[in-house]
Amino acid sequence: MNNRNIVFFVTRLDSGGIENYLLRFLSVKHSHFRNVFVWCKSGSDGQLDSEYLKLDNVSLVKRKLGYFDIASYGALKEFLVSENVDTVCDFSGNFSGRVLSTARKAGVPIRISAYRGSSNHFKDDFPRRLYNRWVRKLTLKNSTRIVSNSEAAFNFFFPGEWKNKERFSVIYNGVTLKVSSMKLKT
């Protein structure tokens, strides 16, 4: 068993893309960690809660992290310190910036931001663009690794910045098949 305490940040645990991927990953790898916390940033229950709780060392944390709620980030810092967390992984792209900044202040050495889309998913107006730029800067400043499931995501969020930087990694979904070696029946 590994001695790492890790926190994964998701919005909630409804049956969706990242929630299912994370559940499959933890089903195989949860024993590689001392403690696994899955933090639901919305503070609400999800359809997959019971499936996650079947895993021995996995705990769910349902505490809302509001965009401008300073107190919630103070509570997050206290949690990270008290649980001796050494790794955080936030799946909300640019919006992981505040979590990563808080984790850095709490002394968490490994801080990962994950991008799963290749565009913004919010109403494009001036206040939101301004906030998005701010949290993107926080993400760049406070992450030790930035991962994505596609080059398209990095080309959109970090054009010209990501290709020559070691902390950026593309981790593709799915399985690569060698079609040329397979005989197809017609």
What average pLDDT score do residues 155-182 get?
A: 71
Among residues 106, 120, 108, which one has the least CA distance to residue 156? Answer: 120
Among residues 129, 79, 82, which one has the least CA distance to residue 102? Answer: 79
Least confident window among 12-26, 64-78, 164-178: 164-178
Radius of gyration, alpha carbons of the chain: 18
User: What is the maximal distance between C-alpha atoms in the chain?
Assistant: 63
Among residues 117, 185, 105, which one has the least CA distance to residue 153? Answer: 117
What is the pLDDT, as a whole number, of residue 17?
85
**Residue 62 in contact with residue 55, Cβ under 8 Å?**
no
pLDDT digits (tens, 9 = 90+) for 91-146: 998 889 999 999 999 999 999 999 876 666 667 788 888 887 888 899 999 999 99
Burial of residue 34 (number of CB atoms within 10 Å: 0-12, 13-18, 19+): middle
Neighbouring residues of 97: CB distance < 8 A, sequence distance ≥ 6: 113, 134, 135, 136, 137, 138, 139, 142
What does the DSSP 8-state code read for residue 132? H
Q: What gap in Å lies between CA 98 and CA 96, rounded to an integer?
A: 6
Q: What gap in Å lies between CA 123 and CA 107, rounded to an integer?
A: 34
Q: What gap in Å lies between CA 57 and CA 7, rounded to an integer?
A: 12
3-class DSSP assignment, residue 63: coil
For the 5-181 domain, the top CATH level (class) is alpha beta
